[in-house]
Structures are given as structure tokens and as C-alpha cells.
Structure 1
Amino acid sequence: MKRFFVLVALIFPLALSAQTKLSETVAEDFSNRVAHHYQLQHDSISGYIAEQLTRSGAGGLDIDSTMFNLKNDLPALDAALKYLYQYSDCNRQRFISNLRSMNLQTNSVFPLATYTANKYKNDTKALLEDKSDFLKTYTGPVTGKQAPAAIAQASATAGTTATTSEAAAAGTTAATTAGAAPAPAPTVADTRSWEVKPLFQVRTPEQLVEMYGKDNVTQRDATDLAGTKEGEAYVIYPDTDDELEIQFDGDNGNILTFSHFPSKWKSPYGIKAGDPLEKLIKVNGRPFRINGFEWTNGGLVNDWQGGALAGKNVTILLKANNTGDPKQYDQVTGDKIIRSDLPVLKKLDVIIQSVAFKSN
């Protein structure tokens, strides 16, 4: 029976053997996402990578060109992965979470995570000490850059150029005359609807465009739990905290997936990405069972145990924020089923990473 939910960033099985080389497809995907985020104002991840590449010399003489074209500079791409791993405190799960926040293809996330963790596993202490020293003088990301002309054309083809609104914002800043203080922008009330119930009744992408505007809707591949492409999905407000994914399943209804927080959407049952495990237990009315982390379907709710969410077509993916203590984290990882009221889960700061709702 066809699975009824789509989570772009779901966990699939870890590679059984160490990965020592990245495929061209995975390297290009990472390169394209870095280039896209480097064009966004105040992007913390790409800004951190760029500054570290500059200080280390790995970015070459023109850091902007390097950031927009990592796929053609493999040593710089390796260094970018190293500094993203450092940014993630050399914690594999945080590294995975940061990769997902960049909206890489699902099939790219785990190869990148395995490759990077294996490559720099013996450098953890040095990387963390370097990060501590780096942050003493780091003043924050300098992003929102324009791609060089040749690269910009290729990026446009790959769909990685900055959005119209971002370009307009950059143009406004550049047009500000020297020495003249810009007039404060008037506060504009947000009149958009954040109710999700109407989205369960939508049946075509054209309806989405009519409701939210063509600049706020984009198409992506839908994937199943194993990372296999399974049709297409549409994303409302892509690359923002309010990103929402919708997959049309004909007469079987729609699937709405939330993986970003904080979010303005008024989601069913009041459940959102970022909510703590304790809230989910309260909504369900009783403890439930979870697949062990870092394994097949890791972190997914396995059984609602007859609670309020049983049979309601709600799919939850959980993640642990505090994974630094192996003795604690190892209790809930691997091929096992765990109870949601296990005391160690509170110490691990488990929250909702993604939530999918399917209309009945």
C-alpha cells in the first residue's frame, strides 16, 4: 500500500561501510545549495563557511567565486564540508539537521554526513578549539552576494538564483545615497491567511498559485522513506521559516508537511516542528512508541498506543538536540523501539523535526 506521507528530510539507513568519496551528483547538489544560500541576506551557515574558507586560505583569492562554484574546486568543497561540520559542533546529528535546513535532496544528506564524519573524525578536538578561537573575532555572516555573471547564468538554469524580493532588497540598499539616512519603512500588516484547513481541499498546483502567488510556490521531487522519488510535491513560501510542503494524492487526499520552525501556520492539533516531546505526549494523552534514532526510519513515531492521535493520519519525525553524551544517546539509537516517556529523552531535548498531516 502506498505510503501516505512525504517528508523531504526523512532519515534512511546509514551506510554499512565508511564512505570515502562523494558522487558528482551529491557534490553538485551541495555546491548548488551553498551558492543559493550565499545569496541570502544574513545566512548563518554559508556566512560561517565563507569566513572560515577566507581565513584558512582554502577559499582562494576570490571567495565569492569559490562559494558560487564549489563543485569545480573539490579541495574547497571538502573544506566547506569541514567547516559546516565544525559549525555543527562536530556533532553528526546537528550536521545532518543543518544539511537539511539547506534543502538538499534527501539522497544527498546521508552520503554527505557519512563522508564528512569519517573524514574528520580524528580532528574533532582541533576543530572545536579552532571554532572557539574563531568566534572570538567573528562578527557575523557577510552574505547576500551577487553571483559572477557566468555563474549566475548557470545558477539561474539550476534554479539557485536569489528570489525577486531578495534582489529588490539588495537593489534598494545599493541605491541608498551616501550620507543620507534612509527613511524608515512603514510597518505593513501581514494579511496572509495561515489556516491550513483549506489546503486539504486544494487539488491542483494552479490553485496554490492563485492562493499564494507564483513567486511563493515551487515544485520539488517527493521522496519515500528510502529516499526513492515518488511523484512531485509543491512548496509554499520555500526557504523560509513558513515553508510548507503539499503533495496531491488525488481522491486519497493531500499530505501537508512542516519541517521548519518557528512557523506562522495554524497546524492541526496545534502540533508544529520544533515542539518539545512533552507537548506531543500531552496532545496524544498517553506515551507512545518511537523507532530508535540513527537507524531505518529513525526517530519516527512507531505506534500511538491508542492515544488521541491514533488513526488520525499524523506522522511525526523526532530529533534529539543534546547528543554529546554517547552513554545517553546510545540508549535510544539503533534497531530498537523506545517509549516516549523514557527519562533519558528529556535529557536529550527531543523535539519534533517534521510533521505530516494527511486529509482523511
Structure 2
Amino acid sequence: MKRFLIFVAFLAPVLSNAQSKLSQSIIDDFSARIAAHYQLPHDSISGYIAEQLTRSGNAGLDIDSTVFDLKKDLVAFDAALKYLYQYSDCNRQRYIANLRSLGLQTNSVFPIATYTANKYKDETKALLDDKKDFLVTYAGPVTGKKPPATIADVIAANNNTSAGASTETTDNQTTATEHAATETNTEATAAVDTRNWEVRPLFQVRKPEQLVEMYGEHNVTQHDAINLAGDKEGEAYLIYPDTDNEVEVQFDGENGNIITFSHFPSKWKSPYGIKAGDPLDKLNKVNGKPFKLNAFEWTNSGMVTNWQGGSLDGKGVLIVLKANNTGDPKQYDQVTGDKILKSDLPALKKLDVIIESIAFKGAN
């Protein structure tokens, strides 16, 4: 009996450790299966996980990159397990059934189920309450994605595009008439436009020559960089200048690139699914809670100053808002001057407030 107790005492820490950690092979297996399902149209499990990762901020700048390679981001990996557990109503047997439906290897299912149930056993009520709130605005899975593009993918896609759809702008000698014709031609060939509109490769670029190689010399121009506060900040490069698809790329050395959008409607697939022209209501939903911004008609007018701990907090997202409906002095006077506003202020809803400019700061 004494030997048995000694054996149990020795084995207990081993079992405990096995339930608190997952092997790399199991992590790789889950990562691969989620990536495979994310490529399927209308996949409910991977779609639910992706949307929750986005809203929580665990997806980083690029949801597709994160979901396609969870094994490289263990914080997002753990969050994905948590949201699958939430999707399964925090029910262990339902969770196991969903893991099996993903096609995981048999020896991966039980360790993942044990690991997740132990890790989130004290968060069941919070997870279920969060799920109820989430489903109020969840529009369903947006899957059927392709693996994120690389610089090489962009070059290949843009090189294979038909001439009419590939040239967004011409050189500086192009006349206004020729420019209008080019724009018309671009619209006419939009249905066969195979250019790559993924933003992620722009964060990988390290020199302007790469931009020229990716998008063509006539579609890349250099100009002074002006930040969202209106201050000059060195040099920047415009891709597809003077069009709705114009995007600015600023190289910031070891701090990474700054990608700015100020035109809309745009074809670019921007981080977090938010872009210039989006309404204030959408921004509130993505952040998950109201945030603070400067009032209009004053210094740094309409600039978001504090995400208030929401999903976009600390994610390198800089936004300037503008009000389209300024013809009602009674409403507009409430949101102008030297003061800070909360984004859920009733007056803002009546003023058709949208994103005027949005910049994403990516780390190297």
C-alpha cells in the first residue's frame, strides 16, 4: 500500500502537467485543421473562432494570417481553443464532438479537451454570457478564404492581370482626358480584376523598390508624409495615387510600416475589417465598447484618443472621424470645440459620423 501511495504521489504531478500543456505536435495538428476549415465556405466553427479573435483583438493586424497559422501565435492559439469551447457551450462532450468534426488526429482530441476544460473551468459563466452578447451582432461565418498573400504572390497576381485592370494610374504626363478614360476602363474591367488587394504584404515591405516591383512604376509615387494630426513626418509612398484605392505606405525603420487609408470606397482588405468610410456604429462594434475622441472643429479634430480598453486598444490603429451631416447646429454644436467626446454620445449618431482616415502601425 505504501508503495502504491508513493507511486500515486509521483504520478500526480506528471498527470497535472500533461493536462496543463500541449505538445507541439498537437498544437500543429489543431492549427492545420483550423486553417483547412477556414478555407471552406460558410464553415461555422472556424468562422465563429475568427470573428471572436477579431473582436477580442487576439487576431492582431491580420485575421487571415492569424487563423491560417495559429501555431505561431500561442496567445491566439489559446484564445481559439477558448472560443471553440464557448462555441460548444462550455460542454466538454460537445467540445470533443466539435474537435472530432474538425478532423483532428485521435490522440489530439482528449489532451485538447482536458487542457481547455481545466484552463477555463472558472470562466464558464463569463464565456456563456459573452456568447449571448456576441450572437446579437454576429452575422455568421465569413470563410472560404485563401492563405494570406506574400510579396511574391502580389507580384505574380498583378503581373497576370489584364492591361485594362492593372493600370490604376498613368505617369505625370497623362492628360485629364486620358486619365478619365483609364478610370472608365478600369471600372469596365472590374469583373476581371485579379489584382491582389491584401494589405498584409505591405507590412512586409522594407524598401520602395519592392513597392514598384509589386504594383508597377506608374502606380507608385513618393510624397511628403503627413500624419493624421496634419504634421509632416518624412517621406511616404502612394500606391494607386489619386484614386479611391489610394493607400500610403510609410517606412518607420525598426518600428515597422505605417499603412494609411483616406479614400473610399476602397478594394483593399484592411485589418480588423474596418476602413475609411465605415460608420461610427461599426467602429463601436469592432472595438467592443465606446471609446473617446476629440471634438470636431478643433485641434486634432475627430481623432480617436483612447480606445478605453476595447479590442483596438494597443493595436496600433489610428483613426480620424468626420461628421457628414453638419447642417443641424443644435446637434453639431454638442460635438465641436475644445473637449473630449465618448463615441456613444447620442448626437454623434444623428450626424452621420464616419471614418475619414485610418492608419495601421505594424511592428517589424
Q: TM-score with structure 2 length normalisation?
A: 0.49
Rg (Cα) greater in structure: 2
Going by fraction, where is helix more abundant, 1 or 2? 2
Higher relative contact order by CA 8 Å / sep ≥ 6: 1 or 2?
1
